[in-house]
Chains A and B, each alone.
Chain A
């Protein structure tokens, strides 16, 4: 089965990766801090308050989420994850992107060389209800998100 969703391109790029889904807001600091600080190359999520992601590897995944929440270090944490090569393959937001995730994505794109982390937002609630962990996600050049079972 295959289903397509259309959103807004925040950071361009194409990629195919397995889905990792958070139905609640992603607390960027709580999710990444231990992994970045203590050399976890797979970026295991450390947020105890996120039952969808806690203990799961975020590196190279198509991270599907409503938005990010929490500390305003969020953007710089995402920037550090990108600089250290520990970022998700892409980020797919069902809501319009929030200011912290946007900052992380923009900072990486302006200040880092060679980072590819496509970001698409406004994919809608239906996207987040449909996508499940492990489904194959492809982002096309025009921002179309293809979800395959």
Chain B
């Protein structure tokens, strides 16, 4: 890989041992993937995946401290994934002890580290940093050093930015150095599709189910998706962006997708059309039966598969303002139809702190509160990352949450019915 004189000097130790290690990490990363050079990070902000003060991550906190002590801090401020705890989210006595003592005992000290490393502001804890209210929305063509699979796939696919599926820690290394190795999704060739996905469903496919099916099929490849125009049209409006946010999160967690193109809708597909598809691309047809097959094959690992759900999470990745409004209206209608006044299963909607504040300025906040739904900024995944969660029947319409935890997946319509009508 070609290095400039400045980059080579840093690698040789001109800026100290720690910066030399940062550079060595990036060079090895690039060489593994055949990078030809380093390119500057051009986005205004970075985004980090590591927001949680989990004890198991002590080696990461030690590394972060090495960076801080050596002054190897980025000039680029960053947002970071959601906080793992919120006292408003239901938790019993034992869970609270496990959360605060056994698991997230390092949360405060880690947040201090994040501030020293360049956290944007106290509200910058969300996986959906690109939402307007949060303010970390890269421009088309920007080169990023982000991690967080759902944010990376959104930035690449919906915003047209360029970012590899960087791991946590690697995200901050690129930002500190100010450049990242040029390979994969940073290159024109790496953004071409080796799969054509033909969507032939008779109704608008559930975003997180469609994303799951595609992710499990194509793994880390780039899919070019056709047949969605009649369901989504050709405009990246609020509803479509929310749909693509949830769809992408499922492709990235159920598989390893970092970029998708949707014919006629996403920016590069609009610009370049089918020229984005590689010769000999494989074809995957998705119809109603295929989506049903995918959903039916999700394992149910509750101790009692027939248990009554004790908690419901909606909002992984974090909900947009419009989604909160839409869900508020849907829950109200569902309750009215079923003759109930409050949700029948404790339910938590999760969103970015800045979106939560904006939502609380609307009339919908009181209306949602009246339904009994709790609004929080936490990461449901981190909430469920404990041994007690396995014994707790949690339901969700997030395929990402299903993938990483014992939560059971249902479509949004199924979730709505369960929380408003009750029953198993």
Binding site for B on A (CB under 8 A): 10, 25, 27, 29-30, 33-34, 36-38, 48-49, 66-76, 79-80, 83-84, 97-100, 102-104, 106-107, 109-112
Q: Kindly state the interface size class of chain B when it binds its partner.
A: 35 or more
Residues of chain B within 8 A of A66, CB atoms compared: 219
Tell whether A97 pairs with B32 under 8 Å between CB atoms, given A29-B404, A76-B57, A107-B169.
Answer: yes
Residues of chain A within 8 A of B170, CB atoms compared: 75, 99, 103, 107
Residues of chain B within 8 A of A99, CB atoms compared: 29, 33, 164-167, 170, 184
Determine the distance from Cα of A76 to Cα of B110 in the docked complex, in whole angstroms: 15
Q: Are A106 and B25 in contact (CB under 8 A)?
A: yes
Return 10 A-B CB contacts under 8 Å, by A number.
Answer: A10-B32, A33-B56, A70-B253, A72-B171, A73-B49, A75-B166, A79-B60, A102-B33, A104-B167, A107-B25
Q: Are A49 and B220 in contact (CB under 8 A)?
A: no
Tell whether A111 pairs with B21 under 8 Å between CB atoms, given A75-B170, A79-B59.
Answer: yes
Tell whether A25 pairs with B24 under 8 Å between CB atoms, given A37-B103, A38-B387, A76-B168.
Answer: no
Pick the residue among A36, A74, A111 that contacts B25 (CB under 8 A).
Answer: A111
Pick the residue among A34, A49, A68, A84 that contacts B256 (CB under 8 A).
Answer: A68
Determine the distance from Cα of A148 to Cα of B171 in the docked complex, in whole angstroms: 39
Q: Are A76 and B56 in contact (CB under 8 A)?
A: no
Which residues of B, 9-39, contact A by the 8 Å Cβ criterion?
Answer: 21, 24-25, 28-29, 32-33
Q: Are A70 and B60 in contact (CB under 8 A)?
A: no
Query: By DSSP majority rule, is chain B's interface helix, strand, loop, or mixed?
Result: helix
Q: Are A72 and B147 in contact (CB under 8 A)?
A: yes
Which 4 A-B residue pairings sit nearest by Cβ, starting from the closest?
A75-B167, A103-B167, A83-B59, A76-B168
Shortest beta-carbon distance, A129 to chain B, in Å?
A: 17
Interface centre among B184, B254, B385, B404 (most CB of A within 10 A): B404
Residues of chain B within 8 A of A68, CB atoms compared: 256
Q: Are B219 and A69 in contact (CB under 8 A)?
A: yes
**Interface flag for B63 (CB, 8 Å):** yes
Determine the distance from Cα of A117 to Cα of B406 in the docked complex, in whole angstroms: 30
Tell whether A100 pairs with B63 under 8 Å between CB atoms, given A30-B403, A72-B49, A111-B21.
Answer: no
Residues of chain B within 8 A of A34, CB atoms compared: 385, 387
Q: Are B50 and A76 in contact (CB under 8 A)?
A: yes
Determine the distance from Cα of A111 to Cα of B25 in the docked complex, in whole angstroms: 9
Tell whether A109 pairs with B28 under 8 Å between CB atoms, given A69-B256, A103-B166.
Answer: yes
Pick the residue among A37, A98, A103 that contacts B169 (CB under 8 A).
Answer: A103
Q: Are B403 and A70 in contact (CB under 8 A)?
A: yes
Shortest beta-carbon distance, B390 to chain A, in Å?
A: 9
Residues of chain A within 8 A of B255, CB atoms compared: 25, 69
**Interface flag for B152 (CB, 8 Å):** yes
Tell whether A80 pairs with B49 under 8 Å between CB atoms, given A72-B147, A75-B168, A75-B170.
Answer: no
Residues of chain A within 8 A of B21, CB atoms compared: 110-111
Shortest beta-carbon distance, A110 to chain B, in Å?
A: 5
Shortest beta-carbon distance, B46 to chain A, in Å?
A: 13
Determine the distance from Cα of A134 to Cα of B400 in the docked complex, in whole angstroms: 32
Tell whether A49 pairs with B403 under 8 Å between CB atoms, given A70-B149, A72-B147, A73-B50.
Answer: yes
Shortest beta-carbon distance, A100 to chain B, in Å?
A: 5
Shortest beta-carbon distance, B13 to chain A, in Å?
A: 14
Shortest beta-carbon distance, B369 to chain A, in Å?
A: 32
